[in-house]
Structure 1
Amino acid sequence: MDIAPFGLERWFAEYEHDAEIMLAESGIRSLDASRFDLDPGELGYVIPTNGDPEFRARVGERYDRSAEEVLFTCGTQEANFLSFLSLLGGDGGDHAVVVTPTYQALYSVPEAFGSVTTVDLEPPQWTLDVDAVREAITDDTAVVVVNNPNNPTGRYHGEEVIQQLYDAAAAHDAYLLCDEVYRLLAEDPLPPVASMGEYGLSTTSLTKAYGLAGLRFGWLVGDRSVIEAAWNWKDYTTISPSLFGQHVAKQATGRRETEILEENRELAAENREIVADWIDRHDLSWYDPVGVNGFVTVPDGFESSTDFCRTVVEQEGVVLAPGDLFGHDDYFRIGFGLPTSELERGLSYVSKAIVNRGESR
């Protein structure tokens, strides 16, 4: 088995440590730990290792699923990884259809286990051609993969489109796996895919919408056979979810949830308007995103998205994500979930790099 290097993570490894401002982060700003009770008691494993049964039942209710159809994981990354391990290479086939551009793990991991056909969203509106997905599905397809809202574009595909995707997958006895890590940043979130029926799988975590990346706490929800297979694989990865993560997650998804999500949605909306005004001032464009990621056209005067992003970070100390890492070299990804004052300062530095390049031409 071979797997491609994770381009975005390698980019971050090169620049993030020494940069002044991170405008490539894809989640909302982190909450302070002081807002939660941090004492989970004895520091042992979570028992049972798939997660506290009562908490799993509470999460399952959100998806019209039982506790046995929920597996707690170390973030969405592990939830997705375990899903692919469980779905590919067995009787269901070793082929995946993945809607791109998207987070690299959603196509590189299944490609390492089997084969992948990608179906690209159509810029500049990043519309999803369901017919193209249907044509890509074969009798060997085990899973169709979509990230909704999408990373990096911020496109939120509507309920009708997702239902059509689900029907297309189910017609071939394939699952529809939806990475929904940004879903609760929407003002009116769609029903999760795992609530749509037997072939729906949802993955998410408290990382992006809740501002709790350091918990490393997420879950996979769906068909019991998939959950049991994923739990079997989890015995060989992290064994159990984080005890601290589960302890704080119970609080964050309990009585404090409405307050946290409203606060984060307000911050996302305020910052989105600031970025939209900045884009207009520089005669750039984007698709107005849901969440805290946007895919912006590269300014004139730069050879590529990498040239632009490297110039910005090396001259001004601001990290952006080159669109080339997502297969679109004429765009760059900006994350605007950080505190507003920090966002405004970062944008002013990026403006300086754009103006200086324009004056040097």
Structure 2
Amino acid sequence: SDIYENGISTSSLSKVFSLAGLRLGWIKANEYVIHQINVRRDYSMISTGPLVDKLGWIALKHKDELILRAKKIISSNKSIVCEWLKENPRFECVLPSGGTVCFLKYYFDLKSETFAKLLLAEKGVFFVPGSCFDKEYYFRLGLAQDSKLFKSGLDELSNFVDEHLIS
């Protein structure tokens, strides 16, 4: 937004700081865009509330520690995915070099929404179906989850596939 007069920059505590529950972010743009945003925001909320503001302030005060923690978790989960993929050749993904989300491609004749619903009902593992992103036969895979839980979810996905999709 500093380079181009119509540029818009956004950020939040969600991805970088792994604090999605706070729903606290910011936007930088030209005065007209900010005015339009504020007019619409005033109809849905005036502010995030003092507790969220305080927690956001604490997070930003400790940003270096939070970012380091997030990088360690993401790095660990990337390693877990790489090892898991070696044992699960009917899946593949390109891991992001600087992000927290990728798409896990699978090679089964089962639509992603149906697959995700069955997996959730039977194994308690939640994936956003690729169809939500116009990417059928994919799941959205977030890499910022607790590594033990992350590995457990991938293992349950393998179990589901072994039990239902491989004959």
Q: TM-score, normalised by structure 2?
A: 0.88
Q: 1:247 to 1:279 in 2, by over 3 A?
A: same
Q: 1:240 to 1:358 in 2, by over 3 A?
A: closer
1:251 matches 2:62: no
Aligned to 1:357: 164
Q: 1:358 to 1:295 in 2, by over 3 A?
A: same
Distance 1:237 1:312 in 2: 35
- Give the secondary structure class of the aligned counterpart of 1:198: coil
Aligned to 2:35: 228
Conserved 8 A contact 2:18-2:144 = no
1:298 matches 2:106: yes
- Give the secondary structure class of the aligned counterpart of 1:235: helix
Conserved 8 A contact 2:13-2:20 = yes
- Give the secondary structure class of the aligned counterpart of 2:113: helix
1:241 matches 2:57: no
Give the length in aligned residue pairs: 165
| Structure 1 residue ranges (4+ consecutive) displaced by more than 6 angstroms after TM superposition | none
Distance 1:306 1:225 in 2: 40
Aligned to 1:271: 77
- Give the secondary structure class of the aligned counterpart of 2:26: strand
Distance 2:165 2:39 in 1: 56
Identity %: 26
AA partner of residue 134 (structure 2): G
1:210 matches 2:17: yes
Conserved 8 A contact 2:100-2:143 = yes
Pairwise CA distance, 1:198: 1.2
Greater share of helix = 2
Pairwise CA distance, 1:206: 0.8
Aligned to 1:40: none
AA partner of residue 77 (structure 2): N
Q: What aligned pairs does 1:97-116 form with structure 2 within 5 A after superposition?
A: none
Conserved 8 A contact 1:275-1:336 = no
Pairwise CA distance, 1:315: 2.0
Distance 1:279 1:232 in 2: 48
Pairwise CA distance, 1:271: 0.6
Pairwise CA distance, 1:210: 1.1
AA partner of residue 88 (structure 2): H
- 5+ unaligned residues in a row in structure 1: which ranges? 1-193
- Give the secondary structure class of the aligned counterpart of 1:204: strand
Conserved 8 A contact 1:311-1:353 = no
Conserved 8 A contact 1:296-1:333 = yes
Task: Point out which structure has higher relative CO (alpha carbons under 8 A, 6+ apart).
Answer: 1
1:312 matches 2:126: no
- Give the secondary structure class of the aligned counterpart of 1:208: coil
Q: TM-score, normalised by structure 1?
A: 0.43
1:308-329 deviations in Å (ceiling 9; x for gaps)? 2223222211111211111111
- Give the secondary structure class of the aligned counterpart of 1:295: strand
1:146-199 deviations in Å (ceiling 9; x for gaps)? xxxxxxxxxxxxxxxxxxxxxxxxxxxxxxxxxxxxxxxxxxxxxxxx233212
Q: 1:231 to 1:306 in 2, by over 3 A?
A: closer
Conserved 8 A contact 1:293-1:336 = yes
Which of 147, 152, 165 is residue 345 of structure 1 equivalent to? 152
